[in-house]
């Protein structure tokens, strides 16, 4: 298993939540990490609170803008010399609800961040990695990537497109030393999920929170999984899932015996 010590890792959407958790894991593994977010204050706070800020670079970047993403790549290579791993994590959801009930502008905005942001990240990463014939790109998927996701039409459809993009790039760059994979992190207890818009009706909310208990995890769980992906670099064009039957079946059994009543919202304890 290759060491990540001194590797340069760029993570989009990493000032909080899952992205921040990945930054912590990679730093603890000895990597140098480049964080980014649209919010300048959030970037400063994230960098200051990381375990090894001297090995960290924080930069404002809106992934919807290719020029800003290329600037992120340029700055990373200027400071650290290269980019070894690029993780397209920045994501956006317009909320839950049937498609006709979702604001069209929010629907479009979700695609701009999720799909085009990932495309911009892949392009910027490839431009830096191809001359060295080495690099790993990891695209973050989600609900809808492998089957329909009712009430998440924008988010799910954009993640489906990212899955196909991942597979396509893996084929296009076979033999160029570039590995392109995707990760299905499962439901993560972050603000985007726990504060999801449109999950207000009591029965829907109850089902939603049941799913979060059974299929959800705090950010550090999928973050550690992604670190292992980067260490192993198994194949290219593959999608790796954090959630397995070994993880969720015992939880489902626990729900039958009242675990949800004893601890209905475990994410509040994280």
- In Å, what is the CA distance from 15 to each residue of 10, 116, 242, 243, 262? 12, 20, 22, 24, 32
pLDDT of residue 198: 75
Residues 244-267: tens digit of each pLDDT: 999 999 999 999 999 988 998 898
What total of structural domains would you count in the chain?
A: 1
Active-site residue, 155 included:
yes
Checking if the pLDDT of 193 tops 80, the result is no
Residue of 119, 155, 173, 220 marked catalytic: 155
- Report the pLDDT averaged over residues 214-236: 94
Identify whether 100 is part of a domain: yes
Q: Which domain holds residue 79?
A: 8-269
3-state secondary structure of 90: coil
Q: What is the pLDDT of residues 95-147, one digit of tens each?
A: 888 999 999 999 999 999 999 999 999 999 999 999 999 999 999 998 878 88
| Structural contact between residues 115 and 158, judged by C-beta atoms closer than 8 angstroms | yes
For the cut 70, the answer to whether the pLDDT of residue 208 exceeds it is: yes
Q: What is the mean pLDDT of residues 209-216?
A: 90
Question: Which residues have CB under 8 Å from 123's CB, separation 6+?
Answer: 66, 69
User: How large is the angle between the packed helices 117-129 and 153-172, nearest 10 degrees?
Assistant: 20
Give the number of other Cβ atoms within 10 Å of residue 81's Cβ. 11
Residue 2 maps to a domain: no
Model confidence pLDDT, tens digit, residues 169-185: 999 999 999 999 999 99
- In-domain check, residue 127: yes
Indicate whether 3 belongs to any domain: no
26-42: pLDDT as tens digits: 999 999 999 999 999 99
User: Residue 82 CA to chain centroid, in angstroms?
Assistant: 22
Q: Retrieve residue 31's tokens.
A: 């990597």
Query: Is pLDDT of 87 > 60?
Result: yes
Whole-number average pLDDT of the chain: 93
pLDDT band at 199 (very low <50, low <70, confident <90, very high): confident
Strand ranges inside the chain, DSSP E: 8-11, 32-37, 56-60, 85-88, 135-140, 178-184, 187-188, 216-217, 239-241
Predicted confidence (pLDDT) at residue 1 exceeds the cutoff of 60: no
Instruction: Kindly state whether residue 40 falls inside one of the protein's structural domains.
Output: yes
For residue 241, tell me if it sits in a domain: yes
CA dihedral 174, 179, 185, 191 (to 10 degrees): -120
State the DSSP code for 10. E
pLDDT score recorded for residue 239: 96
pLDDT of residue 223: 98
Predicted pLDDT of residue 2: 65
Assess whether pLDDT exceeds 80 at residue 196.
Answer: no
CATH of the domain at 180: 3.40.50.720
Which tens digit of pLDDT belongs to each residue from 119-128? 999 999 999 9
d(CA 233, CA 1): 9
Q: What's the whole-number mean pLDDT along residues 71-97?
A: 95
Question: Is the predicted pLDDT of residue 197 greater than 80, yes or no?
Answer: no
């Amino acid at each position: 298993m290759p060491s990540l010590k001194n590797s340069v890792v760029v993570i989009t959407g990493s000032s909080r939540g899952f992205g921040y958790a990945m930054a912590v894991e990679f730093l603890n593994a000895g990597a140098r990490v480049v964080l980014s977010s649209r919010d300048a204050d959030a970037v400063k706070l994230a960098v200051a609170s990381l375990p090894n800020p001297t090995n960290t670079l924080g930069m404002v970047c809106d992934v919807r803008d290719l020029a800003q993403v290329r600037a992120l790549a340029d700055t990373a290579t200027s400071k650290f010399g290269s980019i070894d791993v690029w993780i397209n994590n920045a994501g956006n959801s317009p909320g839950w609800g049937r498609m006709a009930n979702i604001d069209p502008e929010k629907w479009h905005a979700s695609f701009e961040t999720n799909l085009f942001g990932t495309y911009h990240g892949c392009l910027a990463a490839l431009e830096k990695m191809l001359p060295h014939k080495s690099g790993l790109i990891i695209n973050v998927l989600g609900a809808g990537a492998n089957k329909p996701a009712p009430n998440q039409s924008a988010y799910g459809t954009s993640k489906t497109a990212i899955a196909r993009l991942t597979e396509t790039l893996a084929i296009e760059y076979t033999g160029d030393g570039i590995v392109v994979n995707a990760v299905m992190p499962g439901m993560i207890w972050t603000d985007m999920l726990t504060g999801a818009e449109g999950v207000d009706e009591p029965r829907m909310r109850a089902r939603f929170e049941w799913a979060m208990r059974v299929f959800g995890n705090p950010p550090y769980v999928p973050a550690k999984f992604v670190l292992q992906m980067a260490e192993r670099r198994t194949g290219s064009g593959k999608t790796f899932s954090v959630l397995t039957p070994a993880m969720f079946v015992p939880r489902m059994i626990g729900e039958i015996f009242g675990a949800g009543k004893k601890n209905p919202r475990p994410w509040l304890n994280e």
